[in-house]
Amino acid sequence: MNAARTAIAPPFDARSQAKSLLRIARTGALATLDRASGAPLTTLVAVASDYDGSPLFLLSTLSQHTKNLLADPRGSLLLTGPSGRGDPLNRPRLTIGGKVVAHPEPGARARFLARNPKAKLYASFADFSLFRAEISAVHFNGGFGRAAPLAAADILTDLTGAGELIEAEAALLVEVNAGAAAAMAAMAGDKTARRRWRAIGLDPDGLDLAAGAHAARTSFAAPAATPQAWRDAIDASFGKQAAG
C-alpha cells in the first residue's frame, strides 16, 4: 500500500475568489468607448476598492479614457490574479461591467491613496478626479474549467448598518498597525514574515493589507458591521492564522 499522501485541492469557491480578487488587485485593464467612433479602447489603470468593493480610479481629464467616460460612462474592467509560474490563463480573472462615474468622496479618495501611495505625487493636480465603477455585470473565471456565473450582489459587500464602522476606519487601522510585525505577516498569510505589512483598508467582510507592491486580504467567516464586532473578527482571524 502506498503511504504517500495525495494533496487535496481546496474546493472551488467562485464567490469568495472573485471577492478577494476585487479587493487585492492594484491594476486593471479599463475598456471605454471612443467618444467619436464608438470603438473600444483599453488602457491600464491603477485600482483600489471602495468600502463595498466597487473599483475606484484616479483619472486625469486629459486622458483619452476619461474623455470617453465623460461622454459615455459605460465601461468594463479586467482584473487578474498575481503573476507567478505556470500558464497565466490558469490564474483567476474577473471582468466587471457598468457605469464609471465621478465619485468625489473624501473617504474613497483616502482609500485609493492608501492602496496607491505613489499617486499622492499627482493626486492634487487640478485635472485628476476620483471615479468609481458601478457594477452591473460580472464575469469570473478561476482558471481552466472554473468559470462561474455571478452577479454584482455576489461580490459586493453589504454595508447595511456599517456607518459607525466606516467612520472608525482610521482609528481601527491605527490599532491594527500598532500590532507586532509577526502578527501582521500572519494576517497577510506571509509565512516568511520578510515583508513589512500594513493595514490599508477595512470593511465588514475583512481587512486589506499591503507590503510595497504586494497586496493581501484577511476575510472574515461572517460580516462584522460594527467597530467592536470588527475587532472581534480580526482577533478570531489572527488566531486562526496563527494556529495554521
Share of the chain above pLDDT 70, in %: 91
Calculate mean pLDDT across residues 120-145: 93
pLDDT above 80 for 172: yes
Q: Are 49 and 116 in contact (CB under 8 A)?
A: no
The band of 83, judged by pLDDT with boundaries at 50, 70 and 90, is low
Per-residue pLDDT, 205: 97
C-alpha span between 142 and 149 (Å, rounded): 11
Per-residue pLDDT, 147: 84
Strand partners, 46: 27
Q: Are 47 and 57 in contact (CB under 8 A)?
A: yes
Per-residue pLDDT, 239: 66
| CA–CA distances in Å: residue 13 to residues 19, 138, 223, 238 | 10, 15, 17, 22
pLDDT digits (tens, 9 = 90+) for 33-45: 999 999 999 999 9
How far is C-alpha 211 from the chain's CA centre?
Answer: 15
pLDDT above 90 for 7: no
Domains of the chain: 14-155 (2.30.110.10), 163-243 (3.20.180.10)
pLDDT digits (tens, 9 = 90+) for 137-148: 999 998 777 788
Calculate mean pLDDT across residues 65-91: 88
Per-residue pLDDT, 241: 57
H-helix or E-strand spanning residue 153: helix 152-155
Out of 85-89, 141-145, 163-167, 181-185, pick the least confident: 85-89
| CA–CA distances in Å: residue 45 to residues 8, 60, 65, 210 | 37, 11, 10, 18
Q: Are 101 and 90 in contact (CB under 8 A)?
A: no
- The model carries a pTM of 0.90
C-alpha span between 217 and 71 (Å, rounded): 35
Out of 12-16, 96-100, 107-111, pick the least confident: 12-16
- Cβ neighbors of 172 (< 8 A, separation 6 or more) are 165, 202, 227, 230, 231
Per-residue pLDDT, 118: 95
pLDDT above 80 for 11: no
C-alpha span between 137 and 184 (Å, rounded): 34
Strand partners, 44: 29
Per-residue pLDDT, 1: 43
The count of other CB atoms within 10 Å of the CB of residue 218 is: 22
Calculate mean pLDDT across residues 224-233: 97
Out of 4-8, 42-46, 111-115, 233-237, pick the least confident: 4-8
Per-residue pLDDT, 130: 97
Tell me whether residue 148 is exposed, middle or buried, using C-beta atoms within 10 angstroms of its C-beta: 0 to 12, 13 to 18, 19 or more: middle
